């Protein structure tokens, strides 16, 4: 049973970089069945896809965030990570890691969520 | 504004059936699989329907999905108070095949 466990700070200062990590258990991050991705929900808003990475290292980002987003994989730790630079109050949200099916697009597995506050 | 259009809210009484629509275009829903998610505040979304009409194991058959052209529909029969949640449709666009696009979400109220 694939499971995702998120870690990372819940408080980030304005203009700094948000960093979150998602540890995969129950499957290998080298699996070609999934894209490993991030989704967020700002207060009072809907779900927003941030970006995804394939085990090969290929990345795919939401065009609205592309200039500030970086997603990477650490195969030695079976983890993938999100970095979002130059954060503002608009980036305050509940962040989730998730698996995106390679062929079907379904987000079948989710992390527990990390509430990120942007404040000095 | 979301690429996929959902009604902001729907409501029905316990035991009744409700449907939630999701409208897109030929570059997203029209040519790709649709999924549906149930989201309770502060928790991780749960996959209810994938590949337009398939249920993951453990999802009761009260939940159903369908797709026709550039629109998809989630049906929930035998409504229970525990079904009160936000529901999102999701798919991807041909311009970014590895991406995900969501509808704006629909708040279900069980009266």
- Residue B35's closest CA among A24, A26, A82, A39? A39
What φ, ψ does residue A62 adopt, rounded to 5°? Answer: -60, 125
Least confident of A21-30, A104-113, B34-43, B92-101: B92-101
B19-60, pLDDT tens digit by residue? Answer: 999 999 999 999 999 999 999 988 999 999 999 999 999 999
Residue in B42, B56, B100 closest to A49 by CB: B100
Find the closest chain B residue to A94 by CA distance.
Answer: B42
Q: State CA B89 to chain mean position distance.
A: 4
A36–chain B Cβ distance below 8 A for any pair: no
Checking if the pLDDT of A104 tops 90, the result is no
* Interface contact flag, A110 B99, Cβ < 8 Å: no
A6-44, pLDDT tens digit by residue? Answer: 999 999 999 999 999 999 999 999 998 999 999 999 999
* Interface contact flag, B100 A113, Cβ < 8 Å: no
Q: Would you list the DSSP string of A24-70? A: EESS-TT-SSEEEEEEEE-TT--EEEEEEE-TTS-EEE-TTTTTTEE
Q: How many CB pairs under 8 A join A and B?
A: 74
Distance CA A88, CA A83 (A): 14
């Amino acid at each position: 049973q694939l499971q995702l466990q998120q870690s990372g700070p819940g408080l980030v200062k304005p203009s700094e970089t948000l960093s979150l990590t998602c540890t995969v258990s129950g499957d290998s991050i080298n699996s070609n069945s999934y894209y490993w991705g991030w989704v967020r929900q700002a207060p009072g808003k809907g779900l927003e896809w941030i970006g995804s990475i394939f085990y090969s290292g290929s990345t795919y980002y939401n065009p609205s965030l592309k200039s500030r987003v970086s997603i990477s994989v650490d195969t030695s730790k079976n983890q993938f990570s999100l970095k979002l630079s130059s954060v503002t109050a608009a980036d305050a949200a509940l962040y989730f890691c998730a698996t995106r099916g390679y062929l079907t697009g379904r987000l079948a597995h989710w992390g527990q969520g990390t509430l990120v506050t942007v404040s000095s | 504004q979301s690429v996929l259009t959902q009604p902001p809210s729907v409501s029905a009484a316990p035991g009744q059936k409700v449907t939630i629509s999701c409208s897109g275009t030929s570059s997203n829903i029209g040519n790709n699989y649709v999924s549906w998610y149930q989201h309770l505040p502060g928790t991780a979304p749960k996959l209810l329907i994938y590949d337009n009409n398939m249920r993951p194991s453990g999802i009761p058959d009260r939940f159903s999905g369908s797709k026709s052209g550039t629109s998809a529909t989630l049906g929930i029969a035998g409504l229970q108070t525990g079904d009160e949640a936000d529901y999102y449709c999701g798919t991807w666009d041909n311009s970014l095949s590895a991406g995900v696009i969501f509808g704006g979400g629909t708040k279900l109220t069980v009266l």
